[in-house]
Amino acid sequence: MNTKLNQKLALSAFCLFLVTGLTACSTTPAADKPGAAPADNKDTATKPAAKTKLTYWTGDRHDADYIKEVIEKFNTTNKDNIEVELVVKTEDFNQAIDLSFSSAETPDIIRVKENTIQTFYKKQYLAPIDSYLTAEQKKNFPAMIDLNSFDGKMYSLPNYGTTMRLIYNVDLFEKAGIKNPPTTLKEMVDTAKKLTEAGKATGSYGFAQNFKSPESALGRSARVIAEVSGYGGFGYDFKTAKFDFSGFKPIIEAFKQMKDDGSTLPGMESLDIDPLRAQFAEGKIGMYMSFSSEPGVYKSQFPAKIKWAAAPVPSIDGSIKGASGFLGGQWLSISSKSTKKDQAWKFINFMYQEEVLQTYHEKGFGISMVPSVIAKAKKPDIGGIEGFLPNKVDGVWPIQPIVNVKGIKYSDAFFKYMLSGGDLNEVITDLNKRYNEALAAGVQAGEFKASPMADFDPAKLGGQFAK
């Protein structure tokens, strides 16, 4: 009996404990009880979602104000609480990107160009965008697919391209009694001498390039002269899949002749592009070669005090055997290290809207390479752009392999010859040997493929974007 009694008492105590515990754990808020103080709901109120912050790095300065306007519109209208910060790095952009990938401070969006996309891809800086592309985008951006694709994956889409022209001082040409810009190398050398003679009183010279960076200077001048003459602008022969710099011989000889004649601006070897532009705007330079961004430069950055114009670059002998390189076909890419790739694509998608690209073209920041935009866009509203609009000679060359050559680069070797002389044939023989050795090493290492294009005809590249 005592045992049964003890069991009943224990069971009663356990039930009492359950009832008390359930009452104590009731989820009824104290505020719901009569006379209770209002509850503090700070912990349960819905908090605004934190912003997703993205950084976009670019080396472009000429379009920065417009891009800031577009970014501000995106930041204030997107429904995903994304905020983009524009970072403009005009000096040593490539080195800045390299440094960022060796640290933890990498951008989310990277501006890529025809001379960086392959390098950035090889360094694994870029993320493929194939999974984001819609059928409509693939239809609207057909022309530049090959320039943005590596090993079957896409890394960017085009916005604009830049044509290459000879920019000349109309006032100085008139003073020298020269009616037309040169169309051959010989005419260019003779014209530079006449302009220098006519400009003696004002300290003006016939020709200049920004040889503080030989690679940049020759990329704006010798490259395009070679291309319209039928040679690869960076020394690569697509027909044979080999490097051959022999086509540059008459071009570099002409550049050296202008320097030897005293027809080039003194101190040209330490001249950067912006100081060159400033000198041209003041009337101190008769002619130079550069991109279609120059009209914007002389409208706002360095307002020109002279009458100037742009003309097709000369070829070696006056005949056109190739296409003037319409550079471009790339624009925005996603960083491979970004942890916010989906949000980065939402911003990129906004930037690739037809309205944004059309305004970009019409404001004169760059000539559109998107067929649907070209069909609708008005002529860019900026003085001097007429001479840069695409013509039947402009065209896009294929992307060549970028090799890690040992020793001095071709641009430095050519510039050294221009300054000091020597045997140009030996210089070219050495360049061909070293560049082809680097090419073979890259192919063997699987860095790229280099196959001969037996039917390649550079003359057929022209006129791709002319209206």
Give tens-digit pLDDT for 53-79: 999 999 988 889 999 999 999 999 999
Residue linked to tokens 């059309």: 358
Orientation of helix 354-362 relative to helix 64-77, angle to 10°: 160
The pLDDT-based confidence of 114 (bands split at 50, 70, 90) is confident
pLDDT of 138 reads 85
Question: Count of residues for the chain?
Answer: 467
Q: Which token pair is 178?
A: 């020269």
Contacts of 11 (CB under 8 A, 6+ apart): none
Residue 11 has pLDDT above 90, yes or no: no
Beta bridge partners of 58: 88
Indicate if 91 and 234 belong to the same structural domain: no
The 3-state DSSP class for residue 318 equals coil
Q: Which domain holds residue 351?
A: 52-161+327-389
- Is 108 inside a domain boundary? yes
Least confident range from 114-118, 169-173, 199-203, 217-221: namely: 114-118
Q: Report, as an integer, the average pLDDT of 186-212.
A: 97
pLDDT of 142 reads 65
- Is 6 inside a domain boundary? no
pLDDT of 228 reads 98
The pLDDT-based confidence of 448 (bands split at 50, 70, 90) is confident
Indicate if 101 and 188 belong to the same structural domain: no
pLDDT of 21 reads 42
Compute the mean pLDDT over every residue in the chain, rounded to the nearest whole number: 88
Indicate if 426 and 349 belong to the same structural domain: no
pLDDT of 364 reads 83
Residue linked to tokens 């930037």: 351
Orientation of helix 249-260 relative to helix 410-420, angle to 10°: 40
Beta bridge partners of 334: 109, 127
Q: Report, as an integer, the average pLDDT of 10-23.
A: 39
Q: Report, as an integer, the average pLDDT of 84-89.
A: 95
Residue 141 has pLDDT above 70, yes or no: yes
Q: Which token pair is 71?
A: 């970014």
CATH of the domain at 413: 3.40.190.10
Number of structural domains the chain divides into: 2
Indicate if 140 and 218 belong to the same structural domain: no
- Strand (E) or helix (H) holding 415: helix 410-420
- pTM to 2 decimals? 0.79
Beta strand 205-207 pairing with 285-291 = parallel
DSSP state of 446: T
- Is 362 inside a domain boundary? yes
Residues 164/220, Cβ–Cβ less than 8 Å? yes
- Strand (E) or helix (H) holding 55: strand 52-58
pLDDT of 47 reads 60
pLDDT of 465 reads 72
Of 56-70, 129-143, 429-443, which one has max mean pLDDT?
429-443
- Is 25 inside a domain boundary? no
The pLDDT-based confidence of 296 (bands split at 50, 70, 90) is confident
pLDDT of 145 reads 63
C-alpha closest to that of 254 among 197, 185, 193, 328: 185
Q: Which token pair is 106?
A: 């990498």
Between CA 269 and CA 279, with CA 273 as vertex, the angle to 5 degrees is: 85
Q: Report, as an integer, the average pLDDT of 181-207.
A: 98
